[in-house]
Amino acid sequence: MADSKIEINDLIKQLQDEDPKIRKQAADSLAEISNDESNNEIIEPLIVALKDENPQVRFKSAHALGNVGESAVEPLINMINEEEGEIRRYATFALKKIGSPSAVEYFINALDDEDWGVRKVAARSLGELGDKKALESLTKALDDEDWGVKLSVLRSLGDLGDEGAIDPIKKARRKEKDKDFKKAANKALKKIQSS
């Protein structure tokens, strides 16, 4: 027990090392050892590491926060509300990995985020969480300007399996010229009809 506490403290210190490889390795190691006892200690240092200049450190920190679970949801949402740009994307990825129903409202609001990456992750998260209150927001997001976001929305609408998505998907399919989009729309419709 004492050894693991020392190890966690060492890893937290390494998150501030000058060498990005050491910071990345520290975040990676924290992802492996996160457990109920260490979670509260490592959340704040990992959230700070989401702002690291190195994208690999940010990614590994987001992965580690995703492993922490429910106790990281509120701090992540608070951070997202204060930050901009890529940091929001990494934090949203961490929330998706946690998969907490308590983040549904955040993901619904994030469908309107200015960052396409945040919108895409939010759309997929809503499908994975399967909360039908996301249906209306997801159907509106079928008009997103980003192709990848629209594909994520289609997959999520298929995952929700709600017949209320059938007409909006058909309408979006008629408007769209892209073959891959049409294929994804057909797949989503099949999934809904077989639910």
| 104 close to 132: Cβ distance less than 8 angstroms | no
Q: Does 43 lie in the same domain as 1?
A: yes
Return averaged pLDDT per consecutive 10 residues of the chain, 195 residues in all: 72 95 94 68 93 94 91 92 87 94 95 95 96 97 96 97 96 93 95 91
Q: What integer pLDDT is reported at residue 20 of this predicted model?
A: 95
Ordered alpha helix ranges (H), 69-178: 73-82, 86-98, 104-110, 116-129, 135-140, 147-160, 166-175
Q: Does 113 lie in the same domain as 64?
A: no
Rg for the chain (alpha carbons), in Å?
19
Q: Does 85 lie in the same domain as 19?
A: yes
Other beta carbons within 10 angstroms of residue 36's beta carbon come to 9
State how many domains the chain has.
2
Q: Does 186 lie in the same domain as 105?
A: yes
Q: Does 46 lie in the same domain as 27?
A: yes
Q: Does 105 lie in the same domain as 92?
A: no
Q: Does 118 lie in the same domain as 84?
A: no
Q: Does 26 lie in the same domain as 88?
A: yes
Q: What integer pLDDT is reported at residue 38 of this predicted model?
A: 60
Q: Which domain holds residue 115?
A: 101-195
Please name the helix (run of DSSP H) or strand (run of DSSP E) that holds residue 114, with its range, or none: none
Q: What integer pLDDT is reported at residue 5 of this predicted model?
A: 73
Task: Map tokens 């492996």 to a residue.
Answer: 32
Domain end residue (candidates: 69, 98, 127): 98
Q: Does 12 lie in the same domain as 54?
A: yes
The CATH number covering residue 127 comes to 1.25.10.10
The CA distances from residue 30 to 105, 111, 131, 138, 172, in Å, are 28, 30, 30, 34, 43
Domain end residue (candidates: 43, 69, 98): 98
Q: Does 153 lie in the same domain as 60?
A: no
Q: Does 105 lie in the same domain as 80?
A: no
Burial label for 91, CB within 10 Å (0-12, 13-18, 19+), is buried
Domain end residue (candidates: 68, 98, 128): 98
Instruction: Give me the DSSP letters along 49-93.
Output: HTT-SSHHHHHHHHHHHHHH-GGGHHHHHHHHHH--THHHHHHHH
Q: Does 80 lie in the same domain as 27?
A: yes
Which pTM does this prediction carry? 0.88
Query: 48 is written with which tokens?
Result: 């700070």
